[in-house]
A and B are shown apart, each in its own frame.
Chain A
Amino acid sequence: MSNTQELMKIQDLSVEYKTRLGQVSAVDHVSFDIYKGEILGLVGESGCGKSTMGKALMRMIQPPGKITNGQIIFDGKDIMTYDQNQMRSFRGNKVSMIFQDPMTSLNPVQRVDEHVIEAIQVHEPKTKTDAALGRAEILIQKLGIQKRRMNSYPHQLSGGMRQRVMVGLGLVLNANLIIADEATTSLDVIVEAKLADQLRDVREEFGVSLLVITHNIALVAELSDRVAVMYAGHIVEIGDVEPIFDDPLHPYTKGLLDSIPTIKLNEKEELYKMPGEPPNLTHPPSGCRFHPRCPFAMPICSNQEPTLKEISPGRLVKCWLFSEHAEKADTNTEVSS
């Protein structure tokens, strides 16, 4: 089922925030690909830079933040070279985004149909209002929202419905990639499951790719084809969902998976608690950023940063445990950073 045609290629992407206490590298030299028609889950603790990453893919980092390095290649073109206008037509047309809080991500004084018509007419100024409305209605009904809801204001809709409207706003322009940033987090469990189903249907029907950013690892397991695990601004492990869940390689992924409470958990087993705190990114730990919390830390881990290395086809891990000869690295000084 997995398609390996690249839709978006992220290379060496870095995002930094200037804060009063210093420079924060929220995303640090990250590279990965998003394939056509796949659902990629991006998981990590809060503050690990996953939301920043989502925004960076649309070049929506606001000052004091800045994309300081890297390329984002979409359809063979590096969008980092786009100017304001190209960027604007890229957003919405090619890539769209759904946000965490459905209560606030729609303009409270605009009706649903006004939202949709605006989105269409901004990108296709020649479209007549009627035609735009027709298109919107068909789409909205596909998403399971009644036609009469088109005249509603956001506050009259439920949270789930609003998120579906947001999805619709992404689809109405035929975007190839939808980034869902914690899109299900604020919904209750049943609505969340429904929306997850719907997102999968949307993928089947429209063939879009989805980047699902979440801290909810269970959702990723249920929804996505591939998963990328992020820690302190780095992607530490990436690969197909099943292998990773069956056999996590990176100690952080292990810890993350062990800390999910399950009903199957019996009385003797205790929930795993990862020691330590996520690092302060103004002064990140040297070497591997996970080493202070890692149960398998070696001397080299605190000195040199491992690279994201392909272990098996499509499975990459950034850890000295799986890199060649960690001990030998004392003499090997040419590890790229």
Chain B
Amino acid sequence: MSSSLRRFLITRLLLTIPMVLILVTMIFFVMRVLPGDPIRSQLGPRVSEEQADALRERLGLNRPLYIQYFDFLWDMVTLDFGNALTQGERPIKDELSERLPATIELTIPAITLTAVVGILSGAFAAKNRKKPVDYGIRLLSIVVYSIPIFFMGLIFQIVFSVRIPILPLSGRMDTLLLTKFESITNFYVLDAILNRNWPAFWSALTHLVMPSITLGLALSGVFVRLTRVNMIEMLQSDFITAGRARGIPERRLVYKHALRNTFIPILTMLGLQFAILLAGAVLTETTFSWPGVGRYLVDRIQLRDYTAVQATIGVFALFVALISLLMDVLYAFIDPRIRY
């Protein structure tokens, strides 16, 4: 690793800190400064003022705002958010560490699908710009983009588990198998392999198919468009013309030279897509009763559990920052201009 690469990475890491700070501050602001009393909405109108005050006292909500703010920052650093208000007051940290793997297990195949579908059809459309196939791919990508994720999920459910019952409707695994299932990492597919529990493996896998395809497909719409625009620009660049003048086959120019260069902007986009992916995960998890972080967030908001909500959104922010950092590191390894 050369010194300039190291410098790049360190600078990038340092830039992540203000970004996380801003996001966390924003969340705090939204949760605490906007009108609305979390304790009142949690307890309901019938609970007496004393009881509400007692709860405020216990959660430290009666202290000055700035102290609460630094408290929250400290929570983010230690990742210890205390106990949830609802549902047996389980530590939020435990709950999240159980649910985060579920979300990641869902998003990894999804983003892979998005990238493969998006890059291939985007590149193909760019190569055939202004031809019918280009218009076809573009129209299709706009249509896919315009379909709400949950609608796509519901349609898949209707088709593939109600009409032609080949895939399970929702959840991560058959309930029967789940009672005997021993989870180690909370990545069920991985756990099943580790346990050599093949029925569980199959069940986990079939449960994963529909949600991840829904999420991946829904996002590929944007991705096709972005890849296409970048590829078109790349294909107009001088080195492609120069390559053509050297007699390099068109296919090689498109799929090797231009595409490899397009990977750089694509990676940046992939980083930004991750935010959309997480938003999509919230909807997908709700549609398929997938016990991930997104579902947790929605549940807790409905229960008005403000501690859990604030913590979950904070974790989302950390996650986003982490991914964007990861993308930049990858970026540095793909683009020689940064490496040296």
Contact = CB atoms under 8 A, between A and B. Distances in A.
Contact of B244 (A89, A91, A169): A91
A153 B239 CA distance: 13
Interface stretch (B13-21, B30-38, B331-339): B331-339
Interface residues of A, number: 32
Nearest to B244: A60
Interface in A85-121: 88-93, 96-97, 99-101, 104-110, 118-119
B252 interface: yes
Interface string A294-334: 00000000000000000000000000000000000000000
A179 B169 CA distance: 64
Contact of B249 (A60, A122, A155, A169): A122
A299 B281 CA distance: 77
A140 to B, nearest CB: 16
Nearest to A122: B248
Contacts of A97: 242, 245-246
B195 to A, nearest CB: 43
Given A104-B239, A107-B257, A109-B261, A91 B245 contact: yes
Contact of A166 (B242, B244, B248, B336): B242
Given A108-B261, A109-B261, A122-B252, A101 B238 contact: yes
B237 interface: yes
Contacts, number: 77
Nearest to B130: A63
A153 B248 contact: no
Interface in B233-276: 237-239, 241-249, 252, 257, 260-261
A123 interface: yes
Contact of B243 (A89, A90, A107, A123): A107
Contacts of A108: 239, 261, 335-337
24 contacts: A60-B241, A60-B245, A88-B247, A88-B248, A91-B244, A91-B245, A92-B246, A97-B242, A97-B246, A99-B238, A101-B238, A104-B237, A105-B238, A106-B239, A107-B257, A108-B336, A109-B261, A110-B257, A119-B247, A153-B340, A156-B340, A166-B242, A169-B246, A170-B246
Across the A-B interface, give the 7 residue pairs with the lowest CB-CB distance, nearest first: A92-B247, A91-B247, A97-B245, A104-B238, A92-B246, A105-B242, A105-B238
Interface of B: 130, 237-239, 241-249, 252, 257, 260-261, 334-337, 340
